[in-house]
């Protein structure tokens, strides 16, 4: 099965990711951070969370890695704009980190493991670069906890179709509930789990991203040629998402699972 990053790297997808902050999306890991640490952020994207982590551990340093060169460029630009100098960004794969064993005091990753076909291999690589006694913090969504209102058959079809795209690309939309087991299998100890919800406001922040990704599947994955959907269905699903975003009672809450583990 191929492994691809389902959200892609369009301007809309990047804008969606840039609303993420360490204060909110990394809140579960903040109690484990201290000034002077050396921290690794895996799957940093445009770097908005990474920069918040850098401020939290100053004068320590943060290294952000991402497989996509365009995201590394944007992250560097964001760091320069904010004059945050205790951070660097490197193009790299979470499966083959370009660092020696025992390099970091802590490792963080947000919204990455739901896209990985081999999460256990990635976690073992995080364990390798983490110093003994250091902590890893992972946060991923779990599609089993979506709260949506008002629901329509067209809206449910749109969300099911996006879920299908992510699974086809090698991802696991239910990885959140599996994080504790995965960390234990990878060799981490002192594992602690938690869960939280994110309510999307405005609703259009999430729905436009989903609509554009569904529309892009017609070209990117050749969905029509492969028989996954027809043009009419893709148009209908995108319209349902955009109409939902304008509904006065529209509500979308996404569940996130968080796990912290230690290297013995």
The CATH classification of domain 11-262, taken from the options 2.40.50.140, 3.10.20.310, 3.90.700.10, 3.40.50.150: 3.40.50.150
Contact 113, 177 (CB under 8 A): no
What does the domain layout of the chain look like in residue ranges?
11-262
- Would you say residue 2 has pLDDT above 60? no
pLDDT tens readout for residues 112-153: 999 999 999 999 999 999 999 999 999 999 999 999 999 999
* Predicted structure pTM score: 0.96
Contact 94, 109 (CB under 8 A): yes
154 bridge partner residues: none
Per 3-state DSSP, what percentage of the chain is helix, strand, and coil (rounded to 5)?
A: 45, 25, 30
Q: What is the pLDDT of residues 66-93, one digit of tens each?
A: 999 999 999 999 999 999 999 999 999 9
Model confidence pLDDT, tens digit, residues 202-257 = 999 899 999 999 999 999 999 999 999 999 999 999 999 999 999 999 999 999 99
User: What's the pLDDT score for residue 142?
Assistant: 98
At residue 1, does pLDDT exceed 80?
no
What's the pLDDT score for residue 4? Answer: 83
Beta-strand runs (E) in the chain: 38-42, 61-66, 87-91, 104-110, 130-141, 147-149, 189-199, 251-262
């Amino acid at each position: 099965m191929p492994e691809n990053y389902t959200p892609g790297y369009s301007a809309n997808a990047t804008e969606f990711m840039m609303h993420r902050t360490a204060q909110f999306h990394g809140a579960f890991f903040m109690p484990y951070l201290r000034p002077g640490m050396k921290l690794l952020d895996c799957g940093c994207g445009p770097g908005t969370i990474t920069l918040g982590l850098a401020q939290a551990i100053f004068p320590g340093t943060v290294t952000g890695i991402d497989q996509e060169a365009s995201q590394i460029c944007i992250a560097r630009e964001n760091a320069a704009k904010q004059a945050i100098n205790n951070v660097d960004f490197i193009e790299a794969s979470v499966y083959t980190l370009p660092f020696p064993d025992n390099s970091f005091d802590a490792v963080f990753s947000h919204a990455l493991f739901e896209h990985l076909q081999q999460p256990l291999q990635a976690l073992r690589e995080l364990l390798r670069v983490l110093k003994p006694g250091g902590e890893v913090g992972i946060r991923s969504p779990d599609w089993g906890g979506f709260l949506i209102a008002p629901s329509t058959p067209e809206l449910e079809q749109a969300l099911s179709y996006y879920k299908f795209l992510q699974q086809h690309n090698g991802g696991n939309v239910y990885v959140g509930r599996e994080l504790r087991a995965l960390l234990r299998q990878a060799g981490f100890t002192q594992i602690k789990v938690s869960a939280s919800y994110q309510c999307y406001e405005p609703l259009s922040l999430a729905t436009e991203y989903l609509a554009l990704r569904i529309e892009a599947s017609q070209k990117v994955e050749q969905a029509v040629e492969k028989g996954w959907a027809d043009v009419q269905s893709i148009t209908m699903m995108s319209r349902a998402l955009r109409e939902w975003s304008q509904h006065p009672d529209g509500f979308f809450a996404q569940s996130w699972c968080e796990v912290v583990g230690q290297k013995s």
